[in-house]
Amino acid sequence: MDNVIGQIDRALDATSVIVAALDDSSMTAPTPCREWDVRAVLNHTVGNMHIFAAALSGTDSGADHESDWLGGDPQGAYAAAAEVDRAAWHRLDALENTVHIPLGELPAAAAALVHLTELVVHGVDLAVAIGRPDLADDELCGELLATMQAGGGIDRFRAPGIFDAEVFVEADEPGHRRLLGYVGREVLARTP
C-alpha cells in the first residue's frame, strides 16, 4: 500500500493536465457519469479532495459534498485542492489512522485506494467528456484496474449504485477504456 501515495500523486498530476484543458464551454458537456456534467464531476472531485484531506487530518472540511467548491475559478479550485490533498496524504501518519468517509469508517490504507479510484476514474470521465482521452494516464488506469481485480473486485459496490454493471472491453484496449468498462461506464462506444 506504500505505493498508493505515489499513485495518488500521479493521479493528481494527470488530472491537473485534464483540468487545464477545460474551458467555459466544456463545463456543461455530458460525462460518463450519467447524471453529471463536467462542472458537476469536477466539483465532486474537488470537494472529495478537501473532504479526504480534512478526514486525514481530523479537521472539518468547511463544506459538504453538495457545496460549490469551484466558485468562479475551476482550475484554481482544483489546484488549491490538489495542494491540500497531496499534503494530507504525505503526512507521516497518513496511512496509520482510521478515516471517516461517506462509505463508513475505513483504515486509511483502504481509504487511500477509494480516493485513488475517485481521482483516476473522475479524471478519465473529464478527459472523455471533452474529447481528450489521450490525456488519461493509461498506465495508472491499468494499475488501478489490476489492484481492484486483485482485491476481489468491486461487485459489492455495484448494488448500492457506486458503480454500474461492467461493460465488456477487449483486453488489448487502452487502460482508460478498460477501467471505464470495469466501473460500468457505457460511454465506450464513442470513446477512442
Beta bridge partners of 106: 99
Residue 44 pLDDT = 95
> Which of 101, 143, 187, 110 has the alpha carbon at shortest distance from 11?
143
Distance of alpha carbon 184 from its chain centroid, rounded? 15
Inter-residue contact 153 to 166 (CB < 8 Å): no
- For residue 81, what are the CA distances in angstroms to 36, 49, 86, 107? 20, 6, 8, 22
pLDDT of residue 1: 44
Give the 3-state secondary structure of residue 88: helix
Residue 117 pLDDT: 93
| Integer Cα distance of 51 and 58 in angstroms | 10
Q: Is 20 helix (H, G, I), strand (E, B) or coil?
A: helix
- pLDDT < 50 positions in the chain: 1
Q: Could you tell me if 112 and 100 are in contact, meaning their C-beta atoms sit under 8 angstroms apart?
A: no
Quick one: which of 12, 85, 77 has its CA closest to 43? 77
Q: What is the pLDDT of residues 157-178, one digit of tens each?
A: 776 567 888 888 899 999 999 9
pLDDT the model gives residue 97: 84
Tell me what pLDDT residue 35 has.
Answer: 85
What is the rounded CA–CA span in Å between residue 157 and residue 93? 28
